[in-house]
């Protein structure tokens, strides 16, 4: 969650019922979160209006605090607005299915054409043909040809001296002759929407009668995305949207704006420069991303049943003050064991994926049992003040818990390291090597 949202949530945490004032305050934070994610103002207004109507007087689930309830509603509405189900490529009843990419220069049209060709080949064993319709830059044709070579997908081009409409006409003839099942038409873009380009695209559309006109948009476009998407849609009638460059740290608010303004479904997302960096669009993930939530909602739901919030607050304070002791450690181990697989839970926390070693994070229940045994062999004073643990005490604990001193030492060392890491993390620093060794 963004910091503001989190603050608003903790304020609301103690209350039992959602009042209109609560909703108002939460909605202000949510509006800001959306605007920070570059969602268009008009879209934000409409969206928050819908949520407010749903949220006031909403029945509060016992297990959720009012703030969590509102976030849940926001997330559900966001998911619905983004389009509830994933829609694939609309196939033509007879071959070829013709797909035309449109969008501004640098949006990722050519790259997406390659990614889609790759995907169709892999998933359907398809035999696509790509047509090089961007004649304004010689490099654009070469770029598509290089992709074609890498993928072993034919590319039809006629250089830069023939009109794009003519190239498409002849390309389609080749596809008919070779019985290609898909034709992907790569078109030119401009830095801004312009009349000459739109005219050219309309002519290509007229001629090719594509099954899909996919608008390719860079997730980082920001506020401009709405105007761009609107004019492409007005002039060409787009059938779907592809959001690229979601691998960056943009929150992707453009997706919400475009979906609201055009009504066209978002079909794919690009998550990198490689040909395999293509994903089917998931509205729920996108919603969480826009709100900056990771999979926070799932985490809220999962942890809710087992986790006493007051304890969590105390713990957070202790982590910050570095006064986390062995009693807390045991409590944590028990919490963790009762919440289900820790590794799943950890991965849902935003920022956790940046922690080195987190990819192959595993928790061994036997190991946890041994650690508990060691702690139970400590005196109450030792548990509260780990600094008391000198070599003779450690030997006693080792004997008492049926471990050797090396194991006791290792466990105490890990505990101390974990404590330092938690202090760093509670101050917002997730880049802590060794986090995966914490429990
Ligand atoms: P076009 O002008 O619309 O054809 O855009 P290109 O396909 O040539 O892409 C422009 C730049 O964006 C290239 O450097 C691509 O490698 C890069 N690009 C395209 N899609 C993505 C993506 O999903 N993630 C990242 N990081 N880069 C991308
Ligand atoms: Mg291009």
Q: What is the pLDDT of residues 228-241, one digit of tens each?
A: 999 999 999 999 99
Q: What is the best residue among 273, 278, 279, 280 to mutate for testing ligand 1's pocket, by most ligand atoms within 8 Å of CB?
A: 273
Give residues (CB < 6 A) around ligand 1.
103, 105-111, 189, 216, 244-245, 247, 270-273, 277
Tell me what pLDDT residue 304 has.
Answer: 47
For range 400-412, the mean pLDDT: 90
Comparing 312 with 274, the larger pLDDT belongs to 274
Q: Which ligand is nearest to the CA of 144?
A: 2
Q: Which fold has domain 3-85?
A: 1.20.120
For range 56-74, the mean pLDDT: 66
- pLDDT band (50, 70, 90) for residue 366: confident
What is d(CA 110, CA 139) in angstroms, rounded to the nearest whole number?
11
H helices present in 293-358, as ranges: 296-306, 309-321, 326-338, 342-348
Tell me what pLDDT residue 303 has.
Answer: 44
Tell me whether domains 3-85 and 97-281 share a fold. no
- pLDDT band (50, 70, 90) for residue 4: low
Give residue for tokens 């009843």. 93
User: Is the predicted pLDDT of residue 13 greater than 70, yes or no?
Assistant: no
Q: What are the DSSP E strand ranges found in 114-248?
A: 128-133, 155-156, 182-187, 212-218, 240-244
Backbone angles phi, psi at 105, to 5 degrees: -65, 135
For residue 90, give both structure tokens: 């609309």
Tell me what pLDDT residue 306 has.
Answer: 44
Residue closest by Cα to atom 9 of ligand 1: 108
Tell me what pLDDT residue 396 has.
Answer: 94
Closest CA to 270 of 90, 112, 117: 112
Instruction: Kindly list the domain boundaries of the chain, sorted by start residue.
Output: 3-85, 97-281, 307-437
Comparing 319 with 188, the larger pLDDT belongs to 188
What is d(CA 33, CA 75) in angstroms, rounded to the nearest whole number?
12
What is d(CA 291, CA 73) in angstroms, rounded to the nearest whole number?
12
Going by C-beta distance under 8 Å and a sequence separation of 6 or more, which residues neighbour residue 71? Answer: 1, 5, 9, 26, 291, 293, 296, 297, 300
Give residue for tokens 């548990």. 383
Pairing state between β 278-280 and 266-270: antiparallel
Query: Are the C-beta atoms of residues 415 and 328 closer than 8 Å to each other?
Result: no
Q: Which ligand is nearest to the CA of 113?
A: 1
**CA dihedral angle for residue 85, residue 88, residue 94, residue 96, rounded to 10 degrees:** 160
What is d(CA 221, CA 252) in angstroms, rounded to the nearest whole number?
9
- pLDDT band (50, 70, 90) for residue 154: very high
Closest CA to 32 of 2, 76, 12, 67: 2
Tell me what pLDDT residue 222 has.
Answer: 73
Binding site membership: which residues?
Answer: 103-110, 186-190, 244-247
Binding site membership for GTP: which residues?
Answer: 103-110, 186-190, 244-247
Backbone angles phi, psi at 403, to 5 degrees: -120, 170
Query: Are the C-beta atoms of residues 80 and 209 closer than 8 Å to each other?
Result: no
Atom of ligand 1 nearest to the CA of 186: 4
First to last CA, the chain: 25
Q: What is the DSSP letter of 87?
A: -
21-35, 187-201, 349-363 — most confident range: 187-201
What is d(CA 150, CA 425) in angstroms, rounded to the nearest whole number?
43
Query: Are the C-beta atoms of residues 296 and 1 closer than 8 Å to each other?
Result: yes
Q: Around Cβ 118, how many Cβ atoms within 10 Å?
A: 20
What is d(CA 109, CA 102) in angstroms, rounded to the nearest whole number?
7
Q: Please state which of the four CATH numbers 1.10.10.10, 3.30.70.1230, 1.10.20.10, 3.40.50.300 is assigned to the domain occupying 97-281.
A: 3.40.50.300
85-99, 122-136, 358-372 — most confident range: 122-136
Largest Cα–Cα separation, the chain = 88
User: Is the predicted pLDDT of residue 349 greater than 80, yes or no?
Assistant: no
Q: How many residues does the chain have?
A: 439
134 CA → ligand 2 middle, Å: 7
Comparing 420 with 135, the larger pLDDT belongs to 135
As a whole-number percent, the residues of the chain with pLDDT over 70 amount to 76
What is d(CA 320, CA 169) in angstroms, rounded to the nearest whole number?
67
Comparing 7 with 50, the larger pLDDT belongs to 50
39 CA → ligand 1 middle, Å: 22
Tell me what pLDDT residue 307 has.
Answer: 46
Query: Are the C-beta atoms of residues 252 and 37 closer than 8 Å to each other?
Result: yes
Tell me what pLDDT residue 305 has.
Answer: 44
Atom of ligand 1 nearest to the CA of 113: 7
Buried/exposed 216-230: b ≥16 CB within 10 Å, e otherwise = bbbbebbebbbebbe
Residue closest by Cα to atom 28 of ligand 1: 273
User: Is the predicted pLDDT of residue 58 greater than 70, yes or no?
Assistant: no
Mean pLDDT across the chain = 81
What is d(CA 235, CA 144) in angstroms, rounded to the nearest whole number?
26
For range 49-77, the mean pLDDT: 72
For range 392-411, the mean pLDDT: 92
**Is the predicted ipTM greater than 0.95, yes or no?**
yes
What is d(CA 419, CA 315) in angstroms, rounded to the nearest whole number?
11
For range 142-163, the mean pLDDT: 96
Atom of ligand 1 nearest to the CA of 248: 26
What CATH class does 307-437 carry? mainly alpha
159 CA → ligand 1 middle, Å: 22
Sign of CA dihedral 261, 46, 6, 306: negative
User: Is the predicted pLDDT of residue 299 greater than 60, yes or no?
Assistant: no
For range 336-357, the mean pLDDT: 55
């Amino acid at each position: 969650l963004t910091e503001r949202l989190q603050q608003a949530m903790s304020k609301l945490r103690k209350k039992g019922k959602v009042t209109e004032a609560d909703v108002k305050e939460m909605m202000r934070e949510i509006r800001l979160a959306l605007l920070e994610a570059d969602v268009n103002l008009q879209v934000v207004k409409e969206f928050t209006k819908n949520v407010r109507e749903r949220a006031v007087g909403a029945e509060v689930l016992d297990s959720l605090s009012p703030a969590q309830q509102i976030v849940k509603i926001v997330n559900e509405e966001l998911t619905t607005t983004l389009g509830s189900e994933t829609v694939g490529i609309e196939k033509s009843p007879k071959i070829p299915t013709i797909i035309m990419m449109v969008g501004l220069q640098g949006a990722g049209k050519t790259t997406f054409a390659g990614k889609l060709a790759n995907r169709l080949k892999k998933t359907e064993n398809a035999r696509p043909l790509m047509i090089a319709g961007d004649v304004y830059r010689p490099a654009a044709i070469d770029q598509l040809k290089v992709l074609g070579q890498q993928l072993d997908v034919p590319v039809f081009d006629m250089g830069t001296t023939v009109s794009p409409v003519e190239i498409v006409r002849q390309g389609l003839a080749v596809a008919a002759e070779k019985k290609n099942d898909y034709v992907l038409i790569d078109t030119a873009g401009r830095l801004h929407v312009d009349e000459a380009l739109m005219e050219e695209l309309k002519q290509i559309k007229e001629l090719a009668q594509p099954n899909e006109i996919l608008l390719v948009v860079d997730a980082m476009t920001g506020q401009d995305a709405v105007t761009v998407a609107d004019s492409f849609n007005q002039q060409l009638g787009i059938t779907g949207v592809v959001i690229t460059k979601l691998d960056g740290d943009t929150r992707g608010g453009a997706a919400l704006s475009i979906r609201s303004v055009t009504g066209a479904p978002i079909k794919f997302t690009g998550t990198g420069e490689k040909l395999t960096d293509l994903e089917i669009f998931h509205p729920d993930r996108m919603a969480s991303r826009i709100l900056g939530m990771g999979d926070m909602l799932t985490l809220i739901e999962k942890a809710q049943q087992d986790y006493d919030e007051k304890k969590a607050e105390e713990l957070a304070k202790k982590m910050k003050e570095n006064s986390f002791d062995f009693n807390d450690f045991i409590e944590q181990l028990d919490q963790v064991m009762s919440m289900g697989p820790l590794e799943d839970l950890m991965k849902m926390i935003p920022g956790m994926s940046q922690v080195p070693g987190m990819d192959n994070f595993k928790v061994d229940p036997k190991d946890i049992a041994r650690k508990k045994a060691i702690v139970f062999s400590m005196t109450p004073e030792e548990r509260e003040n780990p600094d008391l643990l000198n070599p003779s005490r450690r030997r006693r604990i080792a004997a008492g818990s049926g471990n050797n001193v090396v194991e006791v030492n290792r466990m105490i060392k890990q505990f101390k390291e974990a404590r330092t890491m938690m202090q760093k993390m509670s101050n917002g620093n997730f880049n802590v090597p060794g986090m995966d060794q914490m429990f």
